[in-house]
Amino acid sequence: MARTAGSHSALTAPRIREAAQELFARHGYAAVSMRQIAAEVGVQVGALYNYTPDKQSLLFDLMTAHLDALLAAQAAEDRPADPMQALEAFARFHIRYHAERPDAVFIAYMELRNLTPDNFATVETLRHRYEDRLSAILSAGQAAGAFRIAEPRIATMAIIAMLTGVNTWFRQSGRLSLSEVEDVYWDMTRRLVTG
């Protein structure tokens, strides 16, 4: 790889990602040009190509960076041995992490259609790795007799969709704090696997 590192580059790469993320979230990937991204960052479009070969790579980088960071953050959380406590930790983490990153989450779901087949496969693998962690908690709870789940994989998808749905309506300025919202969703998640 060409030597592009240094203080200028180190500053610009995150700014490119940030600009691309904001523009993709606002207008959609297909509607945003490399020229617009360069203008948003305040560089010439030619300079953009020092950091990324094309727009597809930029989208792929954003999605994999989001999922890598999600996996790392979740791995850094406490993982209680007790399945009920582990599920609570997962549910609360998921809500908090996603509510704080609405643009990245929006893109990660919405722009799957715009990934090349190879890039899509890589992104799906990362996403499955995250889902597998919840499935493992559900299976452990099932094995321990703490949970009653007919279809662990479907329960995984259902819980993730329910929790991520917070992003469609939650506003910091609303009646409930995020921590209160966490409480309500944790209560529903617990019932869903035990009730």
Rounded Cα distance between 71 and 17, Å, is 19
Q: Does 161 bind its own copies (CB under 8 A)?
A: yes
Count of residues interacting with its own copies (CB under 8 A):
35
Contact between 146 and its own copies (CB under 8 A)? no
Distance CA 162, CA 144 (A): 24
Q: Which is nearer to its own copies, 168 or 172 (CB)?
A: 168
Return the number of the residue (133 or 190) whose C-beta is nearest its own copies: 190
Which residue, 98, 97, 122, 103, is CA-closest to 20?
103
132 lines the binding site for its own copies (CB under 8 A): no
Work out how close the CB of 72 gets to its own copies at its nearest, in angstroms, rounded to a whole number: 24
CA–CA distance, 63 with 85 (Å, rounded to integer): 29
157 binds its own copies (CB under 8 A): yes
Does position 174 interact with its own copies (CB under 8 A)? The reply is no
* C-alpha–C-alpha distance, residues 19 and 1, integer Å: 23
Q: Which is nearer to its own copies, 24 or 93 (CB)?
A: 24
- Of 42 and 174, which CB lies nearer to its own copies in the complex structure? 174
CB of 2 to its own copies, least distance (A): 32
Place of tokens 């500053």: 11
**In the complex, least distance from residue 6 CB atom to its own copies, rounded to whole angstroms:** 35
Measured distance CA(88)–CA(132) in Å, rounded = 16
Query: x/- site string to its own copies, residues 16 to 55, per CB under 8 A?
Result: ----------xxxxxx------------------------
| Contacting its own copies within 53-92 (CB under 8 A) | none
Specify the long-range contacts of residues 121-125, CB closer than 8 Å, at least 24 apart: 122/60, 122/64, 123/60, 123/63, 123/64, 123/67
CB atoms within 10 A of CB 195: 7
List contacts with its own copies (CB under 8 A).
Answer: 26-31, 109-110, 113, 150-151, 154-155, 157-162, 164-165, 168-169, 176, 181, 184-185, 187-188, 190-195
